[in-house]
Structure 1
Amino acid sequence: MKPLNQPERRTRLWQFSLLYLLALLVPLGASYYLFSNSSIADENARLKRELDQTHQEQALLTTRLDTLTQHLQRIDGIDLRMMAESNPNVRSVLLLKNQDYNNAIAARLSELRNDTARMQVPAHRLVARNVLRDFDIYRSTRNSIDVLRQEVTKSGEGARGSERLVSELATAKQEASSAKQQVVTLQAALAAASARGGGGGGGGAPVVAPPSNNAKLQIELLRDQVAFAEADCQRQRALDHKPRSKERRQLLESSRTAFIQILQDPATDDLKQSIEQTLAPINVELGREPRFFGLLR
């Protein structure tokens, strides 16, 4: 038996088929558009490359910063040891180690600067530049600290040298005073001997021989030694002043004049050589040519 509404059924079937095909074409068309368009795949590849680049730059920055941090920790440890160390030799070794670590920091910063030029992520470039700027400030401050530390060391050495010079000057003054006393004693003895030898032809007074050449030579030597000690005291006082200062130059000039006066008639050749050796650095500092050496020989 055939249904009575066959035309209507056929019409409804065609309508359903057309509607089904239209409904199926929408996801099929979208799928074709999505999978046939290469821009999405390219975008995914680009994002993957950027992620890999980000990870690489982050790992590089972490390595550089860890290395710099380790060097800073070593420098801080050496600074703490130097504050408690009094041995100058050990302090010199620690200073050399600190200098090596500072040089290592400078090398790492140079590498980081080169890496910054190749970085693709703006945030990483900004971080690297901030680190470089901060470390440049640190290195400048560190150089100032090292210079001040050297100045403090030099000041301490200068103070110790001044104390040594003061001690030597006091010793030289004592020696000069002793030599003066000996000269006075010898002069008094010679005067007494001359008075006894030259006093009238009376009675049986014994005739005293005049002073020997050896005594005269000893007196001249003592006089030259006293003059040498006084001139050397002026030289020692000049060394207490700053180089190229007016007071230092005046004292050196006065000391040089006193030494030259002794060289006019030195008592012994040994004294003459000692004076010439002492005058050599004085002439160099004053810019004088030692012309008098050749004239007096």
Structure 2
Amino acid sequence: MTSTLVRSAQIHSGTGSTAVGRRRRLGRIGINIGGVALAVLWAFPVYWMINSSFQTDAALYGATPQFLPFPLDLSNYATIIGDASFWSAMRVSALVTAISVVVALFSAFLAAVALSRFRFRSRTAMVIVVLVIQMIPAEALFISQYRMLDSWDMINSIIGLSLLYAGHSVPITIWMLKGFVDGIPIELEEAAMIDGCSRFGAFLRITFPLLAPGMVASGIFALLASWNEYTLALVIMKESSAATLPLWLKRFNVTYEATDWGAIMAGSALIAIPVIIVFLIVQGRMATGLVAGAVKG
């Protein structure tokens, strides 16, 4: 009788565990399907941009949309690449982005280290000020920023626009880097100082290499914010020779009586390529550095 009850309990427990496992698998499958659906929904505009860039005007304005760009038409890309103003805007955007990212990272790095590693009067107030500045809409500062650059004779200037972009990126970059610095135990620096390193040497040799992922992540954010910004550039860079890529794309659109959607899509794709290349390069180096550090550690 006892053995029969034990076997019955085992059977019921096995059935219950099987049902629970089945429900968990179904739940995971549902979550995966939902994730794939969201990914497709997110990626479809990018796919449609690339797809449209390889189609002729007749195909784009046809009654039936073409989801595959066959045969490929490269005339839209030839139009963009053959436009000298595109390369001028590419040079301006590259310089502005590079300067703003370097200035923002350097300034935010010093501020994040000071807020994380040192205790000083008004430290909490400074953190609050950084947060409040980040909450101010960029459009609310346009007039004062324009007058400031105008008094410095920096309208239509790469340096002037770069300083404004860096100023907009610094607050959020400080917050991001401060989180990474807080996550690195100060005991590592103290151990290096016991072994003979100075405070600066301990930070430079121990903490700074561990901040590489945070620097990369913050740099990517500042890069995207500067590369894609439109409204501030519209106010500051009024001359066509000083236009950034978003401004060039808008002005390229208004040069035609009818909107050349194929060329606009091709230009948008070409504008996105440098950012994608930089991201892929940085991502690979960051992953390699993390793996190498784990093996050495």
Which TM-score tier does this pair reach, normalised by the shorter chain?
under 0.3
Q: Which has the larger radius of gyration?
A: 1
The structure with the greater share of residues assigned to helix is 1
Which of the pair has the greater relative contact order for Cα pairs under 8 Å at 6+ separation? 2
TM-score (norm 2): 0.24
